[in-house]
Structure 1
Amino acid sequence: MKVSAADLFVKVRERKPLVHQITNFVTVNDCANATLAIGGSPVMTSSPREVADMVKLADALVLNFGTIDDKALEAMEIAGKTANALDIPVILDPVGVGATAYRTEQVTELLRKVNFQIIRGNASEIHRLMGGDIVTRGVDSGELTISNAELAAQAANKLNSVVVVSGAKDAVSDGKHTSIIDNGNLLLTNVTGTGCMATALIGTFSGVTDDFYAAAVAGISTMSISGELAAAKLQEDEGTGTFRVRLIDAISRMNKETWMHEVKINEEIQN
C-alpha cells in the first residue's frame, strides 16, 4: 500500500487531474488552493444548470456538505449521477452530518441516489452515516467506544465505499484492509477547512487512479504530514495565520520522496 500510494504523487504532477468540487463557501478558496498545490486543477462550479457538463470534463468529483442548501443538493445529485454514469470517482465529505435533521436526512437521501467511491469524515460524521448502529456514549467523535480503524472498517462494509475517518490517528479502510496513519499536528484543528482540504486532496489523487484505497491514503496522509511540516517551520511569534500559509507551502512541496520519508502508516487486515 505504501508504494502504490507513493506512486500517485508522480501521476498527479504529470496528469494534472481536473477535480470538480461542489463545496462550501467557507472553505472553497482553500480547497482550490490545496488542489493546485498538490498538482491538480480545481473547478468549483455549483450551478445545477451546468454541473453535468462540467462533470463530463472532470477526472474526479468532490461533494462537500459544509454549507448545504436546496440548490446545492440539486447540483450534487445531478453531478453525482452524471459522474456515476461516466465512471468518474465521486468523493463525499459529510460535513456536520448529525447536527441537524435536515442535513442528516439529505445526506442519507444522496447516499441512496449516488454511488460514492470514497467518503471522508470525522468519527462522529461517519458514525451518523451508519445510522447510529455502533454503541457509543454520545455523538461526539471523542466519545466513540471503538477506534477510528474499527469504525472505518465497519463503515466501509456498510456503505460499500472506501472510508476515511480523520482524527488524532487517521484511518482508511475498504472493509478488508485498513491503514492507520499516525501523522498530524494539533494546529490543524485550529484552522478552518483543513478537513475539507484533505477531501480535496483525496479527490485529486482519485483522478489519476482506480485504486481508491491508495488515493484515500495518499490524500489524508498528505494533509497530516503537511501539518507536521508546517508546524515545525513556525517561529516563536507566529500563530495559526502563518501556519495556514505554511500548510499550503508544505502541500506544494510534497512529493514521493518526502512522503515516503515522513509517513507513519500501519496496515491491518480484517478477518
Structure 2
Amino acid sequence: MSSPSQSLAAMRAAAPLVHCITNYVAMNFQANVLLAAGAAPAMVHDPEESGEFAAIAPAVSVNIGTLSPRWVEGMLEAATVARKTNTPWVLDPVACFATELRREATVKLMKLGPSILRGNASEILAIARQDSAGSGVDAGDTVAAAEQAARKVARDAHCIVAVTGEIDFVTDGQKAVRISGGSPLMPQVTATGCSLSALCAAYAAAVEDRFAATVGALSHFAAAGEAAAAKVEGPGGFASAFLDALAAVTPETIGDDRVTPA
C-alpha cells in the first residue's frame, strides 16, 4: 500500500477533475477544498447531464445532504455510469437515518457499488442496520462504536468504508487503520465532512489502491486541520486557514506516522 505522502504526490501530479453532486450548503466550500488540495471540481447534478459528465470525469462524489427527487435521479445516473466505466465514486450518506427519502436513496445508491463510503459513525451504523443515536446531520455515536459495523458494511458492499470523527477509522472489511490529527474546530465549519468525501474521490482518481487513496485523503485533512487550528482562535478564522493549510501540506509534512493499524 502506498503511504499518504506517496498518495499526496500522485494526487497532486494528476490534479484530477472530480464530478461532485453535493448539497447547496457545501458547494462553494467543497469546490474550494478541492482546488486548495490540488484537484479540480465540477458541480454537475441534473440528470440531463450527470450521467454524461460521469463518463468523462476521473472520479465522482455523491453527497445526499439536500435531496430532491430530481437530484436523486441525477445521483443514480452518475453512479450507474461510474459503475459501468469502473470510475471510482464516493458516497457520503448525509443523515441517511433521518427520513424515508434519505433511507431509500441510500439503499439505491449502495446497490450501485460505491468504491468508498465516507460517513460519520451514526450514518455507518444506520447503513449496517444497527441502532444509532444520530440527530439531524450530526453523529450521536463514537467512531469506536461503529468500527465493527464499518467492517461488516465494507465486506458486504465490497467497498472501502471510512468513519470519520475525532480519530478516523478506515477498513476494507479485513485490514483497518486509524488516523489521528485534525482539530475540534473542524465540525464547527459547515461542509468540512462533505468536502472530505470529495477529496477521497480526488485521491481515488490518482491512486489505484482505493484503501490507500482513502487513507491519503484523510491524512491530508488531518494534517491541514492541525496546522490551521494552530493559527486561529475560532471557526471563522479556521475556515480560511484550513484552505491555506490544505494547499501547504506536502509529502514531507502530511505525517505518515499518524496512520496506525487497527
Which residue matches 1:39?
38
Which residue matches 1:66?
65
In 1: Cα distance, 2:144 partner to 2:254 partner: 28
Which residue matches 1:13?
12
In 2: Cα distance, 1:144 partner to 1:227 partner: 19
Offset from partner CA, 1:26-66 (integer Å, 9 cap, x none) = 01111111111111111111111111221122110000001
Which residue matches 1:229?
227
Instruction: With the length of structure 1 as denominator, give the TM-score of the two structures.
Output: 0.90
Amino acid at match of 1:208: A
Compared CA separation, residues 143 and 48, structure 1 to 2 (3 A): closer
Compared CA separation, residues 100 and 43, structure 1 to 2 (3 A): same
Superposed displacement of residue 267, structure 1: 1.1
The structure 1 residue matched to 2:151, chosen from 149, 153, 158, is 153
Which residue matches 1:252?
247
Q: Is the 8 A contact 1:149 1:180 kept in 2?
A: no
Q: Is the 8 A contact 1:18 1:57 kept in 2?
A: no
Amino acid at match of 2:80: K
Amino acid at match of 2:23: N
Gaps of at least 5 residues in structure 2 are: none
Which residue matches 1:213?
211
Gaps of at least 5 residues in structure 1 are: none
RMSD: 1.8
Q: Is the 8 A contact 2:91 2:114 kept in 1?
A: yes
In 2: Cα distance, 1:137 partner to 1:37 partner: 34
Amino acid at match of 1:188: M
Offset from partner CA, 1:102-158 (integer Å, 9 cap, x none) = 21122112222x1111000001001111122xxx57456444695343332222112
Instruction: With the length of structure 2 as denominator, give the TM-score of the two structures.
Output: 0.93
Compared CA separation, residues 137 and 90, structure 1 to 2 (3 A): closer
The structure 2 residue matched to 1:116, chosen from 114, 119, 125, is 114
Amino acid at match of 1:185: S
Which residue matches 1:266?
260
In 1: Cα distance, 2:209 partner to 2:6 partner: 11
Superposed displacement of residue 189, structure 1: 1.1
In 2: Cα distance, 1:169 partner to 1:15 partner: 28
In 1: Cα distance, 2:14 partner to 2:254 partner: 19
Compared CA separation, residues 52 and 131, structure 1 to 2 (3 A): same
Q: Is the 8 A contact 2:11 2:207 kept in 1?
A: no
Q: Is the 8 A contact 1:153 1:176 kept in 2?
A: yes
Q: Is the 8 A contact 1:31 1:196 kept in 2?
A: yes
In 2: Cα distance, 1:137 partner to 1:75 partner: 28
In 2: Cα distance, 1:56 partner to 1:200 partner: 17
Compared CA separation, residues 109 and 168, structure 1 to 2 (3 A): same
In 2: Cα distance, 1:198 partner to 1:222 partner: 9
Which residue matches 2:48?
49
Which residue matches 2:87?
88
Amino acid at match of 1:233: K
Which residue matches 1:128?
126
Q: How many aligned residue pairs are there?
A: 259
Show the 5 A alignment for 1:95-106.
95-106=94-105
In 1: Cα distance, 2:132 partner to 2:190 partner: 27
Compared CA separation, residues 137 and 17, structure 1 to 2 (3 A): closer
